[in-house]
Chain A
């Protein structure tokens, strides 16, 4: 299996702090995608990083990818209460499916 696995499982931070979560996977990938899910809701796409990219930014989000270590990180800067959600990495090995990790639950305290 090439499923992504996130670390930590849960993260609690104060509003304004940065949140960092990591994702590891097992096999070669075409791209890696990060999603957010609010409790009981749908999956919102955050960012896609391709295997030949090392870093991408989108607003307060910064994603890195290290294919030699088979790992990725998602950094949320200056967190807000609205960032409270579960965050998932999903790997795409160009085989017509995404493999999801178990997610990191982020709680941002006001």
Chain B
């Protein structure tokens, strides 16, 4: 299966700064997801994205978060004003034509908010 890649692998930022996490390259897949994993905790669903629209979002995905696919390939997660508690691993995942298909995860971006 084609791999999901994410950039950067590690991002360090100051509290209050904006960060953009990228999932590249993506092609021929309809469903995309962002998840996060705070150190030592469960993987948590953030948002699903289908046909260039948000399908579902969790309570974590508040107004500070946004997703887009600006150029038809990159899939980005933006955090407008980071908080200390946003420090986590952020995973992008892709899925095939059916929502019943396997979700393949990228290697993750480790976000550290200071």
Q: Which residues of A contact B (CB under 8 A)?
A: 3, 30-31, 33, 35, 40-45, 48, 50, 88, 90, 92, 94-103
Interface residues on B, range: 20 to 34
Return chain A residues, CB-CB under 8 Å to B99: 30, 92, 94, 96
Task: Find the A residue at minimum CB distance from B1.
Answer: A45
Give the interface SS of chain B, mostly helix, strand, loop or mixed. Answer: strand
CA distance A101 to B45 in the complex (A): 12
Count CB-based A-B contacts (< 8 Å): 64
Q: Which residues of B contact A (CB under 8 A)?
A: 31, 33, 35, 41-45, 48, 50, 55-56, 58, 89, 91, 93, 99-108, 110
CA distance A51 to B89 in the complex (A): 30
Known: A33-B102, A48-B102. A96 touches B91 (CB 8 A): no
Give which listed residue, A30, A33, A88, A99, contacts B45 with CB less than 8 A.
A99
